[in-house]
């Protein structure tokens, strides 16, 4: 258990204040006769085409900074976070906007001392316990012990990074760090959720398939936009197109969604809850973002198992898959980030060429707890 308050850094734009969505609303008001821009059209912080590029000028406008709407729930989130951590605002704004940004932060979040506002683009030199940021470049270069990506449309294509979908998930993650993940080991003997987390090529799907051959283990049907592989049957996933997925996501059909290697994945409560209520274990191969969401929902009835496989073997598995070269490249490049996620899982299981030994170990862990 830590004997000091953890230090947590929070990005500001699109983490606490609406930035891109606010810019999009202004742009749409300037072009009323054209089809409205959607936030999903922004897939990077740089130029992206159409009117989206107009938003970049806003970020150097003090009036824009002064009028940015607070993200729903942000004030309550910061207040709760300040009760368990020392909170720092880490914000990158040009010199002409620094006064406006500081004034807003001091007025909107009075529980955070003014001296905890840090401005500048060199976020890579700031040492923290945990950092939350929507900019993947800031997360990948962060010196924080746990850099956490806040999922947004413009970082959706990135895989492997420790990430969350909501303030609630991030608060729960901070609580996990505070408790050092060891206060209460998960108990799944009366039903629960088993999240298989690990790098691409670590045999998560194979392990899940073997587990579900056993009594008391079931795999809920996850929806995805990725193409069906030749080896997958109708019950492997619910395969749908991206437009339908986004429509269902916006309608609240999923308790967790994530993007892995450019494809959307979503899990529905109606698919998981009946399994748990039967006293069975719902087995889900999932990325760390979705796993944290499920851990937040099911608490001690959710177990996060990191499936570790030697890097060379994982790469060979990725190369041997019938997926396009860009997908293979993304998966290999994400391996370093994904191996770091072992630190936030409840337990780690080594996976060699014998998947069955990993399955046996996981069953032992569940039964002995």
pLDDT in the model for residue 150: 94
Q: Round to whole Å and give the CA distance between 94 and 340.
A: 33
Is the confidence at residue 2, as pLDDT, over 70?
A: no
Mean pLDDT of 59-79: 96
Q: Which residues pair with 307 in a beta bridge?
A: 349
Q: What CATH number is given for 192-367 in this structure?
A: 3.40.50.300
DSSP string, 290-357: HHHHHHHHHGGGEEEEEEE--HHHHHHHHHTSSS-HHHHHHHHHTHHHHHHGGGGSSEEEE--S-HHH
Is the confidence at residue 217, as pLDDT, over 90?
A: yes
Structure token pair of residue 157: 């294509």
Q: Which of 279-283, 331-335, 358-362 has the lowest mean pLDDT?
A: 331-335
If you search the block for the tokens 């770091």, which residue do you land on? 340
Centroid of chain to Cα 196:
15
pLDDT in the model for residue 369: 67
Structure token pair of residue 328: 């293979």
Q: Which of 8-12, 132-136, 205-209, 324-328 has the lowest mean pLDDT?
A: 324-328
Structure token pair of residue 234: 């109708």
Structure token pair of residue 269: 């409560």
What's the pLDDT band for 167 if we cut at 50, 70, 90?
very high
pLDDT in the model for residue 50: 59
Structure token pair of residue 287: 């990325």
Average pLDDT, the chain: 87
Q: Round to whole Å and give the CA distance between 295 and 363.
A: 19
Per residue in 8-52, pLDDT (tens digit) is 999 999 999 999 999 989 989 988 888 888 877 776 555 555 566
DSSP state, residue 114: G
Q: Which of 12-16, 196-200, 288-292 has the lowest mean pLDDT?
A: 288-292
- When comparing pLDDT for 323 and 81, which is higher? 81
Mean pLDDT of 162-175: 91
Q: Round to whole Å and give the CA distance between 246 and 268.
A: 14
Cβ neighbours around 71 below 10 Å, total: 18
CA-nearest of 130, 31, 141 to 81 is: 130
pTM exceeding 0.85: no
Rounded percentage of the chain residues whose pLDDT exceeds 70: 94
Cβ neighbours around 79 below 10 Å, total: 14
Helices (H), 179-306: 204-211, 242-250, 269-277, 288-298
Provide the residue ranges of all domains of the chain, joining segments of one domain with +: 6-19+59-178, 192-367
Structure token pair of residue 30: 């300037």
Q: Which of 55-64, 84-93, 174-183 has the lowest mean pLDDT?
A: 174-183
Is the confidence at residue 266, as pLDDT, over 50?
A: yes
Per residue in 301-316, pLDDT (tens digit) is 999 999 999 989 889 9
CA dihedral 39, 45, 47, 48 (to 10 degrees): -30
Asked if 147 contacts 162 with a C-beta cutoff of 8 angstroms, the reply is yes
Q: Interhelix angle for 311-319 vs 325-333, to 10°? A: 170
Q: Round to whole Å and give the CA distance between 11 and 32.
A: 32
CA-nearest of 291, 81, 70 to 194 is: 291
Edge-to-edge strands, sheet with 192-197? 217-218, 281-285, 192-197, 302-308, 347-350
If you search the block for the tokens 């395969």, which residue do you land on? 239
Asked if 264 contacts 165 with a C-beta cutoff of 8 angstroms, the reply is no
What's the pLDDT band for 263 if we cut at 50, 70, 90?
confident
pLDDT in the model for residue 181: 47
Phi, psi of 148 (to 5 degrees): -120, 130
What's the pLDDT band for 183 if we cut at 50, 70, 90?
low
Mean pLDDT of 68-82: 97
Q: Which CATH number fits domain 6-19+59-178: 3.40.50.1000, 3.40.50.300, 1.10.630.10, 3.40.50.1700?
A: 3.40.50.1000
Note whether 6-19+59-178 and 192-367 share their fold. yes
């Amino acid at each position: 258990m830590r004997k000091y308050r953890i230090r947590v850094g929070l990005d500001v734009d699109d983490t606490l204040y609406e930035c891109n969505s606010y810019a999009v609303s202004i742009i749409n008001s300037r072009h009323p006769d054209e089809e409205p821009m959607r936030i999903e059209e922004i897939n990077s912080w740089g130029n992206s085409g159409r009117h989206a590029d107009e938003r970049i000028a806003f970020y150097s406008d003090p009036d824009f900074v002064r009028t940015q709407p607070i993200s729903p729930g942000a004030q309550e989130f910061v207040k709760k976070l300040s009760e368990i951590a020392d909170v720092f605002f880490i914000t990158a704004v040009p010199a002409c906007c620094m006064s406006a940004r500081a004034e807003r932060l001091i007025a909107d979040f009075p529980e955070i001392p003014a001296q905890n506002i840090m401005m500048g683009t060199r976020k890579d030199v700031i040492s923290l316990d945990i950092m939350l940021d929507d900019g993947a470049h800031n997360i990948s270069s962060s010196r924080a012990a746990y850099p956490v990506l806040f999922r947004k449309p413009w970082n959706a294509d990135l895989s492997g990074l420790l990430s969350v979908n909501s303030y609630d998930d991030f608060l729960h993650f901070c609580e996990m760090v505070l408790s050092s993940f060891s206060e209460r080991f998960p108990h799944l003997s009366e039903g629960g959720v088993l999240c298989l987390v690990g790098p691409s090529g670590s045999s998560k799907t194979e392990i899940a398939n073997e587990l579900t051959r056993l009594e008391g283990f079931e795999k809920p049907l996850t929806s995805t936009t990725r193409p069906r592989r030749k080896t997958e049957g109708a019950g492997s996933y619910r395969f749908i197109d991206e437009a339908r997925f986004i429509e269902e996501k916006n309608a609240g059909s999923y308790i967790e969604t994530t993007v892995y290697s450019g494809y959307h994945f979503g899990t529905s409560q109606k698919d998981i809850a009946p399994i748990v209520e039967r006293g069975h274990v719902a087995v889900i191969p999932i990325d760390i973002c979705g796993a944290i969401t499920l851990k937040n929902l099911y608490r001690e009835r959710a177990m996060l198992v990191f499936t570790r496989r030697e890097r060379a073997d994982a790469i060979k598995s990725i190369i041997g898959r019938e997926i396009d070269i860009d997908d293979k490249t993304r998966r290999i490049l994400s391996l370093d980030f994904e191996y770091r996620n072992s630190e936030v899982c409840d337990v780690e299981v080594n996976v060699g060429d014998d998947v069955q030994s990993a399955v046996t170990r996981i069953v032992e862990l569940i039964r002995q707890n």
